[in-house]
Structure formats: structure tokens, C-alpha cells
Structure 1
Amino acid sequence: MTAEPNFVLDLTLALGASAIGGYIAHRLKQPALLGYLVTGLVIGPFGLGLQTDVEQIQGLAEVGIAFLLFALGVEFSLTELKRVKDIALKGSFLQMGLTTLLVCSVSLLSGTANSPLQGIFLGLVLSLSSTAVVLKTLTDRGETATVHGQVMLGLLISQDLALGLMLAVLPVLNQPDALGPALAIAALKFGLFLAGAIALGRWVVPQLIQHIAATESSELFLLTVVALCLSVAWITSFLGLSIAMGAFVAGLMISEIDYADQALGKILPLRDTFACLFFASIGMLIDPHLIVSDLGRILELVALIMVGKALIILPIVLGFGYSLKTAVRASFGLNQIGEFSFVLALMGLELGLINEERYSLLLGTIAISLMLTPLWINLAPKVADWLHNLPVLKDFLNQAEDPKLLSVPGDIHDHVIVAGYGRVGEVLVNVLLSRGYSVLVVDNSETAIQRLRNRHAPLVQIPFVYGDADSELVLEKTSLETAKALAITLPDPTTTRLVLQRALLRAPELDIIARSHNNEEIDVLTQLGAREVVQPEFEAALELGSHVLNTLGEQSIEIQSVLDWIRQDRYRSIRPAVQVGEGYRNTAKERKQKSEKVESSAS
């Protein structure tokens, strides 16, 4: 019984301290993830020593990884997975192979490894990237649906698949005769799991979720979703594969059924809570005394690995036909060492592939590379812009950014350009076509362009440009000067700003409507020149409010005037940041006066 209060205390301490660390990081305009990592370092056994049971916290942290990947699987539909399947499978094989070869060669030449076997082991450890850290950073930035986000996640998922083979191979790495059977057994386990997952996903899970949903019990639905996620993750762990892969597959089972959004909504609070514990637990593994004593060597290793991996990933992504911007973001996002490398490093220590000193050195290198990841991802767009402006690369980049495919009449005019043919863009195109307007679509996804061509053929051929909407060469093909309007529905905030700026340089009088991804962006896009900025969440709330007010007996003309005023005021009066105070009372007073004017004019 004495262990239980300690566990509750440790859990409370980890969550409470992480909340404080995340808040401080947010106030310093840094990712909350960095706050969680530093919190773990401070309260962990190598810091103040406040955390007494790190192993139990790390056990809960594995649940955080499972929920992170489960939520990704629910959001990451099979259609989107097919979109990046080539680079996910072939690209990850190239990346891991080249990284292992580079690390093995350098470690043998420098004397870090005493044999090719040790060099290969170090290469395998360092070839992995962090699914949890990258996914969390992309989620916080709203970039999981972007092209670079999906490329990165596709590569990470393939790495998680390869982790199972690594875990199977390492124990027999120094036994060539046993290597073949070990690989065969690992492949057999993966094949059996995949077959079972497909069968469950097709015939069992949809019916199970449907029956549970029919009970209309929220807690029963949540328990079923959690049990499904953790049970599939446990099965993959039992088979010697990665927990992350099992949780992701469990999410994919649900992604295609009607209750996917409901399942995702239930799991998100749990995901965020346990993910916070995961990042704090990584911080608890960091020994600041070791880092200080070997700081020079660790920083050299971090620089070598992160720069080396970036230089390996960059040409691979470019080679699969993606733009330089996507390649730079992917290379900067995947150049760290993954959290599962901790597991491989510990296994290598137990098998005698590395000694205690090198194990400690690896831990410090992995920890620092993980902490630097959010900063590198934030830096990537600036580096991409800098490369674009280099005179040496200008001709090459112009050729690379030239639209890969386009279907635009030479005399097109009075058209509406829709940048981004995702879920929002597709609805907008359908609305415009139903009203008889001419539309031109710009998108850098081959899948989206193919969907556009198949959806409306043979009744109507919609002009399109296949390329990056923020490329000046792509914008040149859209006849901005003769267009009536430009609607930017892209999921990437940075690209949205670039499209807006570059479009206005070519057509200063063009009406531009932009999609905002968060509250702060509304004012930024307006200041950059957008005629109208739409925040989807606010618009959904306004429509709900409109129906509620109508139900309560409000007059339609008054409701519409209130909605119009809120939109004209750029949602200021309903933004969460606006608290009850003088500013809010003033806006409420203005709204009331405007409403009274509308009523008097109507009467």
C-alpha cells in the first residue's frame, strides 16, 4: 500500500510541473514540448531528484506514444497514406541505409567503433528519427495535413515498421548464420499481424464500434476506443514490433468508419495528457552532469548527426519530385535521433556492442537532438527562403518549381483562383461551379489534382495548375491579373502568407480571401492585404449561434446584422483572448447600438 501514494504523488508532480514548464515555454514563445523536456530534467533523478519512480512514469509515457500514433492513424486516412507511399517505403529505406553506411564509415575511421559490427549498430541507432516529437510539433503548428508534414510522417511510420526488424536482428547481429532465420521470423510476425489487422479492420471493428455507439453511452465508447488502441499496441509489442506501429494501425482501422471523428474527439484529451508525460520522461533520462562534463564531444556528435542526416534526407525528398521547400522542411524535421534509439542503445549495452561510456554519450546526444527538433522545424522555412534567394541556385530552383502539369486556357479571365484542393477547397469549388463561375485550382498534390479531374469529368473540365501555390512561376500561370478573386484554402500558415504576399505583388487590386488557422493569424493576414480572412472554427460557431438565436425567437434580420458585424470586426468580440473588461464592454456596446440602428431602419 505504501507504493500507491508515492505513485500518485509522482504522477501529480510530473503533470503539475509539466503544466508549469509548458506555460513558461509558451510565455517565452517557445514550443510547449521544450517546457515538458526541461521539466523532466529538473524534477528527474539527475536534477532535483523529486521524481522517485521514473520507471512507472515511463510506463505511462508509452501510453502517450500509443495515443499519439492512434490519433495520427485516425486522421491519416488510407487515401492520404497512398499519396506518400513511394517516398515512405523507398525513401525511408534509402535514408536509413545511407545513414547507417555514413555512420559506420565515420565511426570506423575515427576509432569510435572497434569493428564493422559496432559501426552498423551505431548507424542503426542514429538512423531513426522521433515520431513522437515530430508529430507533436507538427500538430501544434497545424501542419500534419501539409505536403511536408505528410512526407515526414510517411517516412517516420516506415521507420517504426523497420524498428521491429532491428529489434529482431540486433541479438544475432554477430551470428551471421542466425541472421536469416531471425529476419524470416520477424517478417512472418509482421505478416501475421498485418493479415489479422486487415481482417479486424474490415469485419470486426466497424461492427463493434457501431454496436457500442448505438448504446449512446459516452464512457462506454471511450473505454472501447482506448481498449482497442492499447490492445493492438500491446500485440505488436508482444510480437517484438513497435508499440507505435500497433497504435497507428489501430487508428487506421477506425479512420474509414463513420465514427472516426467521434473517436478522435474522445482520445485527444488523453493523448495530450499522456504525451506530456512522455516528453517529461525523456527529460528525466538526461544527466546534466554528463552533458556538462562531455559537452564538447556531445555537441560535436549532435552537429555531425543532425547536419549529416539533413544532407542525406534533402536529396532523397528532392529525388521523389518534391519542391525544395518541402525537402528542406522534411530534412530539418527528421534530422534528430528518435526516442526508440534509447531502446536500441540499451539493448546494445546489454549485448556488449557498446560500453558504458559510449552508452552515456549516446543518451546525451539523443536527448539534445530531441530538444533541438522544434527549433529546427521553426527555422526550416527561413532556410528555404534563404536558399531561394541565392543567385547560384536560382536557375535550378526555377526549373524545379516550374509547374509539373497544367491545364489553363490561354484566354482565361474573370475566374476565381482556389489555392488548395483539400476538404475546404473542394467544397468552395463546388459552390462556385454551382453558381456558374469560372474556377482555376492550384495544388501540389497529384492525388488532389487527379481527384479534381475525375470528380467533374466529362461534364466540365476545370482548369488547374499542379505545383506549389507560393511559387512565383506557378502564380504566373494562373493569370492573376485577369482574375476576379483568389481564395487561399491551404493547410499551411507559412505558405498561406507567402501566396498572399506574392499574389498582391503581381496583382495589387486583386480580392483575396484567406483561410486562417489560428486567432493570431487573422490580424497578420489582414495586415498583409487579405480582403477577407475566414477562421473555420469561428464560422462553425457563428452558424451554430445563428440557429440557436433563431430557435430562441430572434429576428432573422437582427441575427444577420450581428453575424455581419462580427465578421467585419474580424471576430474580435468572440476571440477567446478577449476577456470581460473595458474592451469587451465597448465592443458589446457598439454591437448593441448597431443592432438598434438596423431595427429602426427596418421598422
Structure 2
Amino acid sequence: MSQSGTLILIMSIAVLAPLLAYGIGRRLPVSLVIFEIVLGILVGPDVLGWAGEGEVIDTLSDLGLAMLIFLAGYEIEFDKVRGDTLKRSVGAWLIALAAGLTLGMLLTGASKGVYIGTALTSTALGAVLSVLRDAGDLRSRFGSVMMAMSAVGEFGPIIAITLLLSGRAPGRSTVLLAAFALLTAGAVFWALRPRRPWFSHVIDKTLHSSGQFAVRLVVLLLAVMLGVSGALGLDTLLGAFAAGLITRLVLHGAAPRSAGEILAKVEAMGFGFLVPVFYVVTGIEFDLDALLSGGRALLLLPVFLLLFLLVRGLPVYALAPRDLQGRDRRALTLFASTALPLVVAITTIGVDDKVLGTEEAAALVGAAMLSVLVFPLVGLRLRGEKVEKGESEGAETW
């Protein structure tokens, strides 16, 4: 199939997926992402063989991943991700990294273990926050703690990718990372500076016109940070995440009344077009034959799924804030163990570097897809039962 035909097929899936999620969700709340990936697998080369590959599709998929990480970075509320909760989040992730690298190397060897161990420490911030937002649980105490844990679970692996998986000497990677941090700090300083009145006026004036100054500025910030990270030889996901943080500071500082509406426009562009392309292409490129060949890959899938819980979930459970008990603590563990976007990115790097085989990559991505399907669903059930017993979410404060 031509690239234009494949794009039509991908966007058809993007339209069909929320309809299926809505219909089935009335009985069983299943993440939209699952439908996008499964339908991508269905039309991919290992099943129906309808979807083709091409440079345009790959580029759109890469932009979709960048937009997903950008929106995840934007979601972080600095006034909540700080203090004791932030320390606990960082501590939990560092323990997970040590455990992941150790178990990954023991399971698959030193070279492969670095890729697998890093992937096991990730949390799908975008997917988790979407589930909590749809459930009306994002602004609760639980949602705020989950935001902190997820933010570190997203940002930490991106840093680890830069330091461990770049192929450069650790010292040089550290220098480049420090240079990027300085440039990002400069951008943050610029973002925090008071904007002149004309800036806010132009945002308000063009918000509902063809000018769309604010939306274009957001896209420019994303492009600049992607370009900076690429020029330094760093993973572009680092630039996307930093762009989300900077954009939040700019919009909430210059146009606080319009920030929500501007974000809605950017989310429409992201979740309406680019992000679904990424997830559907993930399904299309998924090596189903390698997974179902009946060999090692199929045996590794449940092992990796369990490792997501053990490596990422247990440290979160152990270091969760003291005021979260019982069902909340278990739900937090499940949500934190949910992974996918960075798992796809890390396994893609591993396969391209000819370190990871397609079998290990398929098993790891398959386990991540199952984590998105199962863990949030069980976590929501735990939270739902707690709320039904009389918990007042509005009373939870920091």
C-alpha cells in the first residue's frame, strides 16, 4: 500500500478507536491506546498486511512520540512536584534503576541488560495522567502523588537513555547533558521573565483567529528544543520533555487566563492527529510473528510484565508518602508500573544498534502493552472501591 493509503488507514483507525473505547468502556474501561495498538497490529504485515511503511509515516510517528512526551512535560505542576514527595519519587526511581539493570543483566547479559533494565524503570506518564484525568482523579492527593512518581518515571529513563544508550563515553555524555541543562535553564529563566503587555494582547487577539500566535509559539518552542537536543547528539525526547516544562511556564506566566484554552488547542493537534499515529504505527511495526513463534519471546512476556511490577512498582510502594495507605498504595504501585512509549523508544534503539533481538523487543513491548491494559484498570477499580466507601476527594490537600 502507498504511504498516502497507509496514512488514510491509520487515521481511519484513529477515528474507530475512540468509538470502540466508548462502546466497550461503558462495561469495561479499557485504555484508548490499546485499541489503537491492537488495530495497528491487525492491519500490519503479520496479520492482514494492509499497512505499508515509508519515511513520511515514520516521521509522523516520531513527531507523535515527541508530542506525547511534550504534553507529559506540560502536565507537571511545579507547585505539587516538590518537597518530600519529589524526594521519594527520585529515590524510588533510583532503586528501580539499580534493580532493573541488575536483573536485566542477569536475565539477558550485560549489553542487552542495560536496554531492558532502563525500560523496566519507565512509567507511561501520558497514559497514566489521561486515565486519571478521565476518571476525575487527577487533581486529588492521589493524582498529585502519581504525577510526581510518573514525572520522575518519565524523565529519569530519558536521562538514562542519554547517559547509557548513546554509544558515547559516559564522561562526554555527561558534558553534553550538562550543556543541555544550561541551555534549558536559560530558557526557563526567559520563560519566567515578565512578558510585556503586547505579548498577552497578541495571544488574546489571535486566539480565535487564523493567526493562532500562541499555538505557533508552542510549536516553535517544541521545534527549538528538539533541535537543540538533536544538535548536541542527545535523544530528542529530552528536548520534547523540556519544551513541555518551558511552555507551561511561558503560558501560565504571560496568559494565565488563556493557558487552558491554548493547551486544549495543542492537545487537539496532538491527541487528534500525531499521538494516534505513533500508537497505530507501534502496532503496525510490532513483530507479532516473533512473539507467537512459541519460543523464548512468549516465555519472556509474562516475566517482563512481572518485572515491571517488581522493578518499578515495589520501590514506589515502599517509598510512597505515609498518608497513602491500603488501596491507594496498591493503586499507586499499579499505575507507576504502567509503561509503553519509552519502552517502544528504548527497544527501537536497541534493535537499531543490533544489541536487542526482535524477540526480546517484541516480548518487552508486548508486556508494556499488557501493562497499559491491565494495571490502570485494576488501579481504577481499587480507587473506585475506596471512593465508594465514602472518601471525599475534595478534602484532600497538600
Q: TM range, normalised to the smaller chain?
A: 0.7 to 0.9
Contact 1:18–1:39 (CA under 8 A) maintained in structure 2: no
Could you say which residue in structure 1 is the equivalent of 2:18?
22
Equivalent positions of 1:300-379 (< 5 A) are 300-309=302-311, 311-318=313-320, 322-354=324-356, 356=357, 359-379=358-378
Could you say which residue in structure 1 is the equivalent of 2:281?
281
Which amino acid letter does the alignment assign opposite residue 267 of structure 2? L
Point out the structure with max Rg over C-alpha: 1
CA distance in 1, matches of 2:266, 2:196: 17
- 2:9 corresponds, among 10, 13, 16, to 13
Q: CA deviation at 1:41?
A: 0.7
CA distance in 2, matches of 1:158, 1:348: 22
Query: C-alpha offsets along residues 9-67 of structure 1, whole Å, 9 cap, x if unaligned?
Result: 32221111232233234323333322111111112233322222355334323433444
Describe the SS at the equivalent of 2:80. helix
Q: CA deviation at 1:181?
A: 3.2
Q: Which has the higher contact order (CA 8 A, sep 6+)?
A: 2
Aligned residues: 378
CA distance in 1, matches of 2:24, 2:151: 32
Describe the SS at the equivalent of 2:210. helix
Contact 1:45–1:51 (CA under 8 A) maintained in structure 2: yes
Contact 1:18–1:40 (CA under 8 A) maintained in structure 2: no
1:6–1:219 distance in 2 versus 1, CA, 3 Å: farther
Contact 2:62–2:278 (CA under 8 A) maintained in structure 1: yes
Query: C-alpha offsets along residues 395-425 of structure 1, whole Å, 9 cap, x if unaligned?
Result: xxxxxxxxxxxxxxxxxxxxxxxxxxxxxxx
- 2:390 corresponds, among 490, 495, 499, to 499
1:337–1:380 distance in 2 versus 1, CA, 3 Å: closer
1:268–1:119 distance in 2 versus 1, CA, 3 Å: closer
Q: CA deviation at 1:352?
A: 4.9
CA distance in 1, matches of 2:322, 2:224: 33
TM-score by length of 1: 0.55
Could you say which residue in structure 2 is the equivalent of 1:435?
none
Could you say which residue in structure 1 is the equivalent of 2:185?
194
Equivalent positions of 1:245-256 (< 5 A) are 245-253=241-249, 254-256=251-253
Which amino acid letter does the alignment assign opposite residue 371 of structure 2? L
1:261 maps onto 2:263 in alignment: no
Where structure 1 has 5 or more consecutive residues not aligned to the other structure, the ranges are 385-491, 504-513, 516-603
Identity of aligned residues (%): 16
**Which structure shows the bigger proportion of residues in strand conformation?**
1
CA distance in 2, matches of 1:131, 1:346: 19
Could you say which residue in structure 1 is the equivalent of 2:216?
224
Could you say which residue in structure 1 is the equivalent of 2:203?
212
TM-score by length of 2: 0.80
1:183 maps onto 2:184 in alignment: no
Report which stretch shifted further, 34-43 or 12-21.
12-21
Q: CA deviation at 1:269?
A: 1.9
1:131 maps onto 2:114 in alignment: no
1:64–1:262 distance in 2 versus 1, CA, 3 Å: same
Contact 2:31–2:373 (CA under 8 A) maintained in structure 1: yes
Describe the SS at the equivalent of 1:78. coil
1:145–1:365 distance in 2 versus 1, CA, 3 Å: same
Report which stretch shifted further, 6-15 or 235-244.
235-244
1:7–1:54 distance in 2 versus 1, CA, 3 Å: closer
**Which structure shows the bigger proportion of residues in helix conformation?**
2
Describe the SS at the equivalent of 2:51. coil
Which amino acid letter does the alignment assign opposite residue 86 of structure 1? K
